[in-house]
Structure 1
């Protein structure tokens, strides 16, 4: 009995990406589909790799960061190294995003102040 395989269009539809995206991952050596003529057949392991890469992308990880974490997978040793690496990456991303949020909040407050001053100036000039 052969393990379940997935076509490129199956995976593209499941994950809401283009077949070009999946071919890109293949070109980068991140997945290794079997070939039947022109047809690509992806294994369950390829499917999981694509899923994890896309999950990493959703949380702001670069492709390289995602691959580094995925490649640390070691089921014989409880994945401890992989989990520590992921925690470190997530913590770093969170800190960067919180700083960006703080910067945006400060810019918005500055814009509010400038707008209020302009509106007050207009109001004052119309009152004279």
Structure 2
């Protein structure tokens, strides 16, 4: 593929030309110049696609730059750190999902006012417990039933 101008590169990637200029100013891409116009090679388009993916995932440009430009093993370490961060984000999202599912499935008229499980958790949060701790306690096995021995955990609403 030949070099393509900034407008075409931006259109192919669904980005504004100003974003491509900004990435150039930050040193994330290094388009060639012909007659003062930025021209993008296939390699630069791949770098832009990588940046777009990171941006859509909420990953910062500094992290993208570290991965794009660092030598091995630094870029691998940056990727490993990002994976660990995403694992934390996913765990928090799953905790939020369980919290909301409990609210939705709760037989109480309104979970924030009437659900003993929900009000106890909210009171603990107000009392200084961290959200991470509440999630961990909610996910922790409860007695012998959690180890596969005995009856399942009782429903606090039953």
State whether TM-score is above 0.5: yes
TM-score by length of 2: 0.57
Partner of 1:40, secondary structure, is strand
Q: Does 1:43 align with 2:41?
A: yes
- Corresponding residue for residue 94 of structure 1: 87
Secondary structure of 2:109's counterpart equals helix
**Number of residue equivalences:** 110
CA–CA distance in 2 between the matches of 1:44 and 1:85?
24
Q: Is the 8 A contact 2:54 2:60 kept in 1?
A: yes
**Structure 2 matches for 1:28-107, cutoff 5 A?**
28-72=26-70, 74=71, 79-107=72-100
Q: Secondary structure at the match of 1:117?
A: coil
4+ residue segments displaced more than 4 Å: none
Q: CA RMSD in A?
A: 2.5
Structure 1 residues without counterparts, runs of 5 or longer: 119-128
TM-score, L = length of structure 1:
0.68
Aligned to 1:117: 109
